[in-house]
Amino acid sequence: MVQIKTPEQIAKMREAGLVVAAIHAATHEAAVPGATTRDLDEVARKVIADHGAKSNFLGYGGFPATICTSVNEVVVHGIPDEKTVLKDGDIISIDAGAIVDGWHGDAAYTAFVGTGHAPELVELSRVTEESMWAGIAAMKPGNRLVDISKAIETYIKRQPRPAVGDHSLGRYGIIEDYGGHGIGTEMHMDPHLLNYVSRKRGKGPKLVPGLCLAIEPMVSLGTPQTEVLKDDWTVITTDGTWSSHWEHSIALTEEGPLVLTAVDGGKAKLAELGVVAAPDPLA
């Protein structure tokens, strides 16, 4: 069942979203060569504690950490540890969440560690992030869930892959086994949101004010196929190609989408796409 929120409940989710934004800012600053992924987890723990919030990742289904740290070929659900030391040239996707008064926030971003990243990696992250924003822009009253999926998929498929010399690298891989979701009093709720169109899934529910979604495309430089490692959490691409993951939590209101986990509520980025973001209830 899809949970519809009141304006007051959306305001609480905005509080949780701003804690997630603070986690992102702090971990981004800490994601430097020589840092371990456990170091980043400790940074996230402190931010959550400083805001008087709770972690919605720690203990979720037995997950042992506060954030997911997914490096290079790891797509999602990487477990922070002391053995994974970040190196110059790595990319890392950091997925974080928080709970405020029982309401959840959830978002992810891809960061570049150090310098000297190949253009194809920079473009991979850009395409993944921009496809997320295309999906957010499609979150309009009267649209269907599939319109978000279509916007994400269409954006990715229209992007040319950067060539290496005279060799074109072909299309990107849209990860098939993972996607977005509803969010509210739980981190993962109905509806499940694919990052591509599936005839088997139909059009999905109509988008109405009060609906809150986490929109999160995951894209690789190769295959869309993944496998889970023996720790039962870490998801990698089956061909070892590197991947990117971007996510925001969004509330649909009578006045448009509000990006709960963006500091400005998504105002600047949505304006570039011709979409007016909803007013911030905490402003």
- pLDDT computed for residue 187 by the predictor: 99
Q: Which residues of the chain fall short of a pLDDT of 50?
A: none
Dist CA 75 CA 149 (whole Å): 19
Would you state the pLDDT for residue 185? Answer: 99
Predicted confidence at residue 169, as pLDDT, reads 62
**CATH class of the domain defined by 7-272:** alpha beta
| 109 DSSP β-pair partners | 94
What's the one-letter identity of residue 179? Answer: G
**d(C-alpha 70, C-alpha 37), whole Å:** 9
d(CA 82, CA 173): 30
With 0-12 CB in 10 A as exposed, 13-18 as middle and 19+ as buried, what is 263? Answer: middle
Q: What is the number of other CB atoms lying within 10 angstroms of the CB of residue 272?
A: 10
Q: Is residue 199 packed enough to be buried (19+ CB in 10 Å), middle (13-18) or exposed (0-12)? A: exposed
100 CB neighbour count, 10 Å cutoff = 20
